[in-house]
Amino acid sequence: MNFQTLGIPNRIKKVVLTPPRILAFSFIVLITVGTLLLKLPIATTGEITWLTALFTATSASTITGLVVVDTGSVYTLFGQIIILSLIQAGGVGIMTFAVLIVQMLSKRIGIRFMLLIQQALNQSSYGGIIRLVKVLLIFALVSESIGTLILMSMWVPDMGWKQGTYASIFYSISGFNSAGFSIWSEGLIGHNSNPVVLTVISTLFVLSGLGFTVILDLYYSRKFKELSLHSKLMIIGTGVINIVALFVIFALEFNNVKTIGLMPLSDKLFNSYFQAVTPRSAGLNSLDVNSMEDASIFFTIILMFIGAGSTSTGGGIKLTTFIALLLSVATFLRGKSEAVILGRTISDSTIIRAFAITVILLGILFTTVFIMMISEDASFIEILFEAVSAISTCGLSMGITGELSVIGQIVIILLMYFGKLGPLTLLFILAKPSLRRKVRYPYGEIITG
C-alpha cells in the first residue's frame, strides 16, 4: 500500500518494535489483565471502580505496594491471589517466565527474544542470560519457601494453620519481590516486637535488592576478589548504606514516643534497621511513617530515591548509579580526569548514563509533583513522599494514597509504571534511533557553575 496516496507520511507507516517497546507493552498487557480480573465480583467484597482496579493492578505489577483501598478487607482470597500473581510476575519478571515456558517447550530462543530478555534484566550483553534466568527462578523459589517456613513457625501457633500459612506465603512473596503489599491495614506494626519476623522479611528484600546478577556472581565465585566490580560495589555499598541508615533512623527516632521511644533497646534497634532498609524499594513498614520525625521522613525520601540494585526487584535510580555520581563528584573535587574505585576505572559512558538516569527521574518527579500540588489537598512533603515512593516502586506512604483525586491517582499510576520500566528504557522508547556520525565537530567551552 502506498501511504503517500492516502496522505499518510511514510515515516509513520511502520512502528519499530524494539525490545524496550515490547517490554513496555508487556507490562501494559499484564496490568490490563490484572485490572480485568480484579474487577470481577469474585475478587472483591464489594463494588470497586475501574480506576481502583487499575491502580491496584499497576501497583502489584510494578511491585510498588501503594493502595487506595485496604487489601485485606476489600479484596477476597481470589483477589489477593491475583495480586500475588501480579507481584510474582512483575517482580521476578515477565521475561524470566517467558524463558522458562520456552525452555519447557524445547523451543529455540532467537536473537530478538534474547535482546528482549537482555532489556528486561538490564544486561549489557545477552551472553549467559539463560543461565541467569534459571538461577533467578531457583533463587526466588528457594528464598520464598524458606521465608514462608520460618514465618509459619511464628504465625501458625498464633493464627492457626490456615491463616498463619497464608500470611506467611503472602509476606514472603511480597517481601522477596519488594512489593510492599500487606493484608493487614497497619502493615507489620502489630509484629514490630517480633525480631524473627522483622529479620526474615528484611532479609528477603535485602537479598533480592542486591540484584540477581550479584547473586549469580556469588554463586559461581568462591572468593570476594573474583567477583565483578559491580558485585563488589553492590555488596559493599549495600552494607555501608544500610549501616548508615540504621544509625540515622535510630538517632532521629530514639526519643520519639510515637515510634520507638518507648521500646526496649533491642526492639529499637530491630525496628530502626527495618525502617532503614525498607525504603530502598521494599515498602513494608514496622513503624507508622506519619509519626516519624520530619528529618526521618526526608531521609526516607532520599533512601527511596536511591533505591536498590540493578536487575533486582527494587526501583529508584539504583545504588550503583548513586555510587557513580559520588565518584564523579569526588573525581572533580580531586582534580582527576578519571573516576577510579577498587583498582578499576569507571568509563565516561557509565558516568554519563548515571547522570542521565538521575536527571530524567528528577525531571519526571518535578513535573508530577507540580501537577499534584495543584490537584491534591495535601502538604508538599506528603506529595513529594508519595511521588518518590511511586517512581521508586517502594510503596511507603504517609497515608494520602486513599485520599488522592482522580488526577492524583492517574499521576501515581504513571509514576509506578515509569518507575518499573526505568528512565533509560523510557528514553530508548521515545528516542529516535540514528546512525553514528562520521563527522566530528571541534570542541567548544561553556562556562558552568
Q: What is the pLDDT of residues 338-363, one digit of tens each?
A: 888 888 888 888 888 889 889 989 99
Among 316, 319, 321, 322, smallest CA distance to 392 is for 316
Query: How far apart (Å, rounded) are the C-alpha atoms in residues 140 and 100?
Result: 14
Mean pLDDT of 116-125: 55
Query: What's the domain range around 324?
Result: 14-426
What is the pLDDT at residue 1?
47
Residue 449 in any domain: the answer is no
Phi and psi of 414, rounded to 5°? -65, -40
How many domains are contained in the chain?
1
pLDDT score of 187: 87
pLDDT at residue 215 in the model: 83
**Inside any domain, residue 448:** no
Residue 425, pLDDT > 50, answer yes
Overall average pLDDT of the 412-437 stretch: 71
Q: Is 323 part of a structural domain of the chain?
A: yes
Could you tell me if residue 181 is inside a domain?
A: yes
Identify the pLDDT of residue 260: 95
CA 323/CA 229 separation, integer angstroms: 12
Cα(136)–Cα(213) distance, integer angstroms: 9
Q: What is the pLDDT of residue 255?
A: 94
Residue 251's identity, in one-letter code, is A
Copy the grid coordinates of residue 353.
548514563
Q: Round to the nearest angstrom and report the end-to-end CA distance of the chain.
A: 55
| Amino acid at position 11, single letter | R
C-alpha cell at 228: 565483578
Say if residues 357 and 315 touch (Cβ distance below 8 Å). Answer: no
Q: What does the pLDDT average to over 68-94?
A: 90
In a domain, 5, yes or no: no
Q: Is residue 420 within 8 Å of residue 393, measured between CB atoms?
A: yes
Q: What is the pLDDT of residue 99?
A: 56
388 close to 412: Cβ distance less than 8 angstroms: no
pTM, 2 dp: 0.86
Average of per-residue pLDDT across 154-160: 93
Amino acid at 154: M
As a whole number of angstroms, the distance between CA 162 and CA 264 comes to 32
Give the residue-averaged pLDDT of 23-45.
92
- Provide the pLDDT confidence category of residue 106 given band limits of 50, 70 and 90: very low
3-state secondary structure of 195: helix
Going by the DSSP 8-state scheme, the letter that residue 344 receives in this structure is E
Question: Would you say residue 2 lies in a domain?
Answer: no
Which range, of 27-41, 58-72, 413-427, averages the lowest pLDDT? 413-427
Task: Specify whether the CB–CB gap between 401 and 386 falls below 8 A.
Answer: yes
Tell whether 1 is covered by a domain.
Answer: no
The Cα 398–Cα 275 span in angstroms is 14
What is the 8-class DSSP label of residue 190?
A: G
Over pLDDT 90: what percentage of the chain? 55
Is position 95 within any domain? yes
Residue with cell 530502598: 280
